């Protein structure tokens, strides 16, 4: 094996110019940054989700499905498998 491509320690890698760089030293890309949402937006999302869930259980009740039997993973009221 060529000596220029020796095994590097874990957490390090060789750059195209031949230098060795630690993985954590890379500058963050804009894609990696998370977009923070305001507390008002978070509340609005939670409220929308709650309203959708309440509507599902209300519709299931009208269909005669007990709340304990409604499939939580679906947006429409369906019975869960037993």
pLDDT tens-digit profile of 15-57?
888 788 777 666 666 665 667 889 999 999 999 999 999 999 9
Q: What is the pTM of this model?
A: 0.51
Output the pLDDT for position 58. Answer: 93
Is residue 11 predicted with pLDDT exceeding 70?
yes
Q: Closest Cα partner for 38 from 49, 46, 30?
A: 46
Would you place residue 14 in the very low, low, confident or very high pLDDT band (cuts 50, 70, 90)? confident
Q: How far is the C-alpha of 42 from the C-alpha of 45, rounded, in Å? A: 5
Between the CA of residue 59 and those of 9, 19, 33, 71, what are the distances in Å? Answer: 59, 64, 40, 13
Strands of the chain, DSSP E: 12-14, 20-22
Output the pLDDT for position 3. Answer: 47
- Residue reference for tokens 């590097």: 8
């Amino acid at each position: 094996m060529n000596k220029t491509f020796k095994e590097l320690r874990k957490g390090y890698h060789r750059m195209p110019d031949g230098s060795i760089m630690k993985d954590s030293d890379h500058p963050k890309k804009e894609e990696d940054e998370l977009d923070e949402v305001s507390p008002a937006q978070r509340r609005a999302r939670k409220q929308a989700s709650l309203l959708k869930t309440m509507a599902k259980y209300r519709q299931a009740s009208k269909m005669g499905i007990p709340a304990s039997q409604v499939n939580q993973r679906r947006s429409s009221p369906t019975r869960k498998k037993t």
